[in-house]
Amino acid sequence: MLSLRWPDLGTILCLGAHSDDIEIGAGATLVRLVRENPEARIVWVVLAAGGQRGEEARASAARFLEGAGAAEVLLEEFRDGHFPAQWAEIKAFFATLKRFAPDLVLTHYGQDLHQDHRVVSELAWQGFRDQLILEYEIPKWDGGLGSPNLFVPATAADADAKIAALLQCFPSQAGKHWFDDLTFRGLMRLRGLECNAPEGLAEAFYARKVSLA
């Protein structure tokens, strides 16, 4: 396996359909990126973040973005579970994100079984044609986990920070049978095994299109 170093990142755009998606899919990676790119600007976007879920999203984003050179959090209130029916409105919103000119876009896996996740991924690819796009994965009742092809090793401390933030910042999800330490750490352990991560933990992404200069 060829190991590459992150490029210098000026702006990172994080896209999530729901309030905890970014954290579940890329939380440990973002902890690392903020630490290693202290001057970077992070733009954190959640599409369905109304009411309590919006409050949770804002609190969690603040926690993950602590130490970032600059941060902007955009919380929208598109209807959860109905993104395909709101396609035109969401696409118009995505057009406003181009002004950030990100170097890296983190978004949902394009073949995720949740319809909202697929819409976000497809619009990310439509809107950002010259950026590095990495698609993160979300474990869920529906299943649908695949074989990602890009791995970001995580330290045990970064994994702990990710999981603690998820469990503390999203009390509305506490009753879900899958929303626990075992799920999040178990997936990271599996991906760490697959890439022989130094501390046995990793987050995985789909790198659909990458150009090496």
> How high is the pLDDT of residue 3?
86
C-alpha 205/C-alpha 135 separation (Å) is: 5
Helix H or strand E encompassing 107:
strand 104-108
> How high is the pLDDT of residue 87?
97
Contacts of 161 (CB under 8 A, 6+ apart): 27, 28, 31
Q: Domain 11-206 belongs to what architecture? A: 3-Layer(aba) Sandwich (3.40)
Domain range summary for the chain, segments of one domain joined by +: 11-206
C-alpha 175/C-alpha 179 separation (Å) is: 8
Under 8 Å between Cβ of 67 and 34: yes
> How high is the pLDDT of residue 5?
87
Mean pLDDT in order along the chain per 10 residues (213 residues): 86 98 98 95 97 96 95 97 97 98 97 97 96 96 93 98 97 94 98 98 96 84
